[in-house]
Each structure stands twice: as structure tokens, then as C-alpha cells.
Amino acid sequence: MTDVRVGSKTNGLAPVSVAERSLGAGAWQWAGLTTVAIAAVAADQLTKHVVTRTLPLDDSVHVVGPLSIHHVQNSGIAFGLFSSATAVVTVITSIAVVWMLVFFARSGSRHPVLPAALGLLIGGSVSNLVDRIRLHHVTDFIDLKWWPAFNLADSFIVIGVVILLAALIAADRKPRPPQRTLDVAAR
């Protein structure tokens, strides 16, 4: 039996040419992430400053419907969990922010929504982290009556996660094969 090979490769399954692109974040991705993160920190810190300067602790102002501005302090994380473990929450949040930055450095150009989504996550996390380090608590003030009070940083974190999940779900969807149409008139 004769062994016949075409081309210069000995492995017919190996691609002859491979186009590679870096998935790491480029300058534009870093600029987008930084802009979103700084805007998130600024908005959260500004609103917390306004609430702490104009509304005494535990006071509330009704806005509309179930929405009130209610000045409370939270030394824990969501729903007051780990309220006696501020140092642990600070360390875990710091590790999470560093992990997100490393992930972004390696994969920032993988999807166009990553700078915005991770910018919101990092900005919200950093803003609450600054409060935990500086004040040993965060200021929560958005009160919907049926949900524990929260702040803009918490909202940014949730929105960032929702954007990431939506992007993952959209990327995971398999494209539908084109439907074949029958041209009855041509027959």
C-alpha cells in the first residue's frame, strides 16, 4: 500500500494557516473600563455624601410610590450578612477586584460588553470598599419597602452581573440554520 500525502504537512488534520488574535484588553478596552468604573465610584460617593449630609441616620424621606430615601448604615454585605466581619469582607472584596482586573487584562477584548460590565462591577465594589476601609460601614439609602435598603454601588454591581449573564446567554445560543424555502412556482 502506498502512502500518498498532499502538501508539506504530515498531519492532514492540522490547519495550514491559523489566524490568532490576542484576547487581552487593549488601550480602548482599558479606557472604557476605567471610564465606567470612575463614573460609578463618583456617582455612588456623591449620592452617599448628599444623603449623609442632608438626612440624619435612620431618618427617611418618601419620594414616590414605594421609593423612599432612608439613611442607614450597613457594616456587612447584602442583606446585612457578615456585619461583624468587616475585615473579612474587605479582604474578599479586594481579592475579587484584583481577580476581575486580571481577568480583564487577559480577556478584555473577548466581548464588547466586558469593559462596561466589569467597569460597573469594579466601580461598585471599589466604592463600597472605600467606605468599608474609611468608615467601617457603607451608607445605604434606596429603600423600596419590600427589599432591604441599598445604594448605587450595589445597583451597579447587579447591573454589571446582569449584563455579563446576558452576554453569556447570547454567546451560548446556537445560531439557527437557515430555513429552506420551497419555490413552488419554479417547479
Any domain includes 79: yes
- pLDDT greater than 60 at residue 186: no
- pLDDT recorded at residue 180: 66
Q: What amino acid occupies position 58?
A: D
Q: What cell does 100 get?
A: 476581575
Any domain includes 88: yes
Distance CA 96, CA 51 (A): 28
Any domain includes 182: no
Q: What cell does 181 get?
A: 424555502
Would you please indicate which residues are annotated as catalytic (active-site) residues?
A: 140, 154
Q: How many domains does the chain have?
A: 1
Segments forming the whole domain that contains residue 130: 27-172
Any domain includes 186: no
* β-bridge partners, 73: 139
| Residue range 63-122, pLDDT digits in tens | 999 999 999 998 877 666 666 777 888 899 999 999 999 989 988 777 889 999 999 999
Any domain includes 103: yes
- pLDDT greater than 80 at residue 145: yes
Q: What cell does 149 get?
A: 435598603
Any domain includes 4: no
